[in-house]
Chains A and B, each alone.
Chain A
Amino acid sequence: MITRRNLIAAASVTALMLSASFASAQDKLYIPLVSKGFQHQFWQAVKAGADKAAAEFNVDVTFEGPDTEAQVDKQMDMLAAALAKKPAAIGFAALDSQAAIPLLKQAQEAGIPVIAFDSGVDSDIPAATASTDNLAAASLAADKMAELIGGAGKVALVVHDQTSRTGIDRRDGFVNQVAAKYPDIEIVDIQYGGGDQLQSTEITKAILTAHPDIKGIFGANEGSAIGVVNAIKETGTTGVVVIGYDSGAAQKAAIMEGTMAGAITQNPVGIGYETVKAAVAASKGEAVTKNIDTGFFWYDKTNIDAPEIAAVLYD
């Protein structure tokens, strides 16, 4: 009879085999990255950057993140497991900085350097932070929007989240820039779609219905931006300027076919790469730059294939 025990044993053996490649290389420096997400293409690009650095510096890197950006406690569990492995250093992108403080203190006491990345950690424990300046990036998006709609008219924002740092910064960066520099632009609506493409599509459709004379829409992350593009396509709307954020195959295609005017890209590969690079340096006791600006770029049809842009875009 197949008992549950046997099944669990079988599953565990499978797990062991999956991990065999890691287990065989225990003597290398080990650096876990605990991220804010995992499945999203953006995070996969960060992971790609981390892996690239891992190969370059000959260290072991793992990359983990919770399913949604709300699951603060699951991220804590991941951080706790990462610490249990006695790593050389840790890369960490906090969902909620406060909640992470006890574990970060634990890392500090154990002499494990912490490198913050993406939205960073609101504390002085991290030896360095590798991140995008989201406020500046979003205000660049506002400038581009103003330029494309001729400096006047109604615009709306579809944002992924109203509680996370990136959501707040990108929204505020855009809104503040408009308020400061473009008095003729009216922000008629700001809606939140959880970064979910489908939900963002529905939200955008509602905005288009409510404001038929809208000139432009800013989608504040990849999922939101794709949602906006889908809604524009489904409703057959023309003449609305769409500005996106981050990249991904769908967004790149939308830019190439003209549905999307252009987008802000962070440098996710650079974030992953710089985090690991700083972690390696910190673990060897070398000095590291406190704030590593990984940069952002505006890209559209004209420069999407330029080497410096193509290098930071992901599919």
Chain B
Amino acid sequence: MTELVRMTAIDKRFPGVHALKSAQFDLVSGEVHALMGENGAGKSTLMKILSGIYQPDGGTVAVEGKSVTVQGPRAAQSLGIGIIHQELALMNDLTVAQNIFIGREPRRSFGRLDEGKLNEDAESIFKAMNVAMDVRAEVRTLSVARQQMVEIAKALSYRSRILIMDEPTAALNDAETNELFAIIRRLKSEGVGVVYISHKMDEIRRISDRVTVMRDGAYVGTVAAADTPISTIISMMVGRDLENTDVDIPDLSAAPLALEVRGLNRGRTIRDVSFTLRRGEILGFAGLMGAGRTEVARAIFGADVRDSGEIIVHGKPCTIRSPKDAVGVGIGYLSEDRKHYGLALGLDVRSNIGMTSLFRFQNRFGVVNDNALAVVAKDYIAKLAIRTPTDRQEVRLLSGGNQQKIVIAKWLLRDCDILFFDEPTRGIDVGAKAEIYRLLQSLAAQGKAIVVISSELPEVLRLSHRIAVMCEGRLTGILPGGAATTQEHIMRLATLRQGALEEATA
């Protein structure tokens, strides 16, 4: 086992931020070294220095024992350092092979391309990875998981001895994650050193050999993955112990129904889904990717057209044809993609909180009463413990957890008492997750009716009073929350396909 990378005393400042404070990291060949820390801990910055995207202000980087300066992405490539970025950096309109060799296309004279060799080379890389891939397919036609494979192939094509993966499984389902792990193991056996950045504790345990934890731009410690309890890693990350509470299920038998859905259908994505939701209840929605959970929420919310189905809100049948109608009866939907659908990132906290309720703060000439809005915004900032210097801070400068709270504040202000949370903690770090959980629980305790759609089973189990499980567009069962239900129970329903279901009900 040779040492591939040693980074010592790395310092990096951005205007107004001391991003890395004497950070350190090392990597040996044939290992998977997980790099962990909350958002903003400096993991990505450290790896961007290693891959030449940023230049450090201080400290040394040594690759295979030699001190180096990584001038740019190209220099990193020639040092055998490949990086797979968190946000996939692919060109959707080009083919797989064209993506892999962008910048180093096999050329003939006069800048002409040798497309045949390009495709052959790409094919041989996938062959070495033992992955079947049509290298002539346009990248936009591939699933996210397949695109991830292209990224890996691209990184490998540089004959990378050092491979950095930043949140590679963020968009992958379990099967796809397994596929990725198989590839990582094979690379490992060939002596490649892998830096693995992730928030998912179970993955870290499964794939990594060592774990280095960072906090606030500084190095905290390195531990062996196999024999360190997760709780230890988490407390290293957050700098304190996290309480690990079991879900406390209230007796809701007397609570009135907030929402009743009957016979919801939409093409092949939603098939005859019916369920109820009481006030004060948290209903979890579990299932594999593509099971139709988000689609159900969107159909109820009026964002997509329903083929059929009744929606009864507080005992009254409603006609919901558009999100406007849904909001009108008090249903709010918090999209999994906050940045695209939930927030105006360039606007300040105040404007975002008030966005859907501006009509309440305007006089009859359409002038917004900013003072009144500020009062309300500050009230929510305090109530939901949103960490922002002022209510005039631009939302894009806040962390994921605080952004999520702003979306929640927006819907609360709009008087929504039925709230659909789609992946409420995606991209939010561990410490902030617990806070979001507490917030959801206290909202429920105040009588809001809450649906939580989540791909992370521990999250579903931790939060839900009842758990609805979907498979291929149908609701395959509703399980009680609490300790009696395990991940295995959920998985059984989540994989209960059409044929099996008919047998079971026959």
**A and B in direct contact, judged by CB atoms within 8 A:** no
Interface residues in chain A, defined as those with a beta carbon under 8 Å from any beta carbon in chain B: none
Interface residues in chain B, defined as those with a beta carbon under 8 Å from any beta carbon in chain A: none
